[in-house]
Amino acid sequence: MTDQPLLPQSLPRPHKKQGLPVELPALPMTVIGWQGIRCVLPPEWNLTSFSMERENGYIRADAPGDTALTVQIRWQDASDTERKIGTLYDVFAPKVRKLFNRPAPEQKPPDLRRLLDKVLKDAAKSAKKAGAGFESSTRPEKLEGDDLERTAIPFSWLGGGRGQGKIWHCTKCNRVVVAQVIGIARDGGQVQSVAAGLFATLRDHSADTLDLWALYDLQVKVPVTFRLHQQQVMSGHLRLVFLRGGEMIVIDRWGLASMTLKKFKLEEWLAANVTVKLKSMEQAKVILQSGHEAKVFSGRLSLTDRLKVFRSARGLARPLAVRFEGGVWLCENENRIYTVQALTSRKTTDLWKLVADTVMCCQ
């Protein structure tokens, strides 16, 4: 099994399709989901860099082959964009308000024009470095979204490369998002068509209580209350670890399943890759939404295992995980093995099935 890191730049580019139209009917579109942000891009695009933070972060996705086309999405909590740092008033006002039971003052909407100016200044700076001229244009502010929750300003620039993008504030999740498609100057048509697809599909918050996490053909949904804690993105192995207090969800996907299964049974593979002992746990077979049959182990965590989980969650405290539910299944069509583990408190029920059912495969 090959396990080279895929990030940041060393992505596999197995199928060079240069010169062929981007919209090949046989290839599925690329779905990207990260920290509540999600979008659909043309086939074979890949997430090439991302940040771990939820409140203030970015993702970048690149086109396949040798083209310079790239999509960059940055987001920030709107209260961060307007925060004045360090005045005593800022420190004490919330406490005083709490003391007198007064509501926080209504937040001013973020100054999108000012934030956009900064984006364009940065683009101008790199154009200048490259010795190119720079011109940009912005369109009037408009309301968008299913419930007109977004105030958006579309923009474009040309200089060195070219970019087409949009900045907006969403009143539902209070995020300020800047998204743009960037290419070389002569990529005009392609930049435009990728931007059209991007902005038709880009969402900055989940419509329900589950976030879509999608990268490298892995698609899974996790409750929005969980935060990404660790990731591992290798060519043969993807792992996402989420925490909510001391509760934990671990999702793994391995490639080259047929080779692995020459040496291990599925349940042995699970046992080798979980932090807890499966021996005394209850076993069951569960049919998932995808149609795959999972072997599932569940039971109370031993004291030793609880300590291990507590430590790997960096003692993030409550609620403590006391139960384990972990399952493994094979997707023969994709030649992949999936495992999902849920380490939960007494109160949380059915989390494993909820998450495992959302894993998409054999599409």
Helix runs in the chain, H state only: 78-81, 88-99, 112-129, 188-201, 257-263, 266-273, 303-312, 351-356
Question: In whole angstroms, how close is the CB of 356 to Zn ion at the nearest point?
Answer: 12
Nearer residue to Zn ion within complex by CB, 202 or 243: 202
Question: In whole angstroms, how close is the CB of 186 to Zn ion at the nearest point?
Answer: 34
| Interaction mask 190-219, Zn ion, x per CB under 5 A | --------------xx--------------
Distance of CA 138 to the CA centre of its chain: 29
Cα separation of 16 and 261, whole Å?
A: 31
Cα separation of 96 and 119, whole Å?
A: 36
Asked if 362 interacts with Zn ion (CB under 5 A), we say: yes
Question: In whole angstroms, how close is the CB of 170 to Zn ion at the nearest point?
Answer: 3
Cα separation of 10 and 7, whole Å?
A: 6
What number of CA atoms fall less than 13 Å from residue 295's CA on the CB side?
A: 15
What number of CA atoms fall less than 13 Å from residue 218's CA on the CB side?
A: 30
Q: Count of residues binding Zn ion (CB under 5 A)? A: 8
- With CB under 5 A as the contact rule, the residue among 13, 172, 186, 265 that binds Zn ion is 172
DSSP β-bridge partners for residue 283: 297
Question: In whole angstroms, how close is the CB of 333 to Zn ion at the nearest point?
Answer: 5
- With CB under 5 A as the contact rule, the residue among 224, 234, 331, 360 that binds Zn ion is 331
Asked if 256 interacts with Zn ion (CB under 5 A), we say: no
Q: Name the one range near Zn ion by CB under 5 A: 59-67, 132-140, 157-165, 354-362.
A: 354-362
- With CB under 5 A as the contact rule, the residue among 173, 215, 320, 330 that binds Zn ion is 173
Question: In whole angstroms, how close is the CB of 285 to Zn ion at the nearest point?
Answer: 16
**Cβ atoms within 10 A of the Cβ of 274, count?**
19
Do the beta carbons of residue 178 and residue 165 sit within 8 Å?
A: yes
| Interaction mask 118-157, Zn ion, x per CB under 5 A | ----------------------------------------
Question: In whole angstroms, how close is the CB of 290 to Zn ion at the nearest point?
Answer: 5
Which three-class secondary structure state does DSSP give residue 9?
coil
Q: List residues binding Zn ion (CB under 5 A).
A: 170, 172-173, 204-205, 331, 361-362
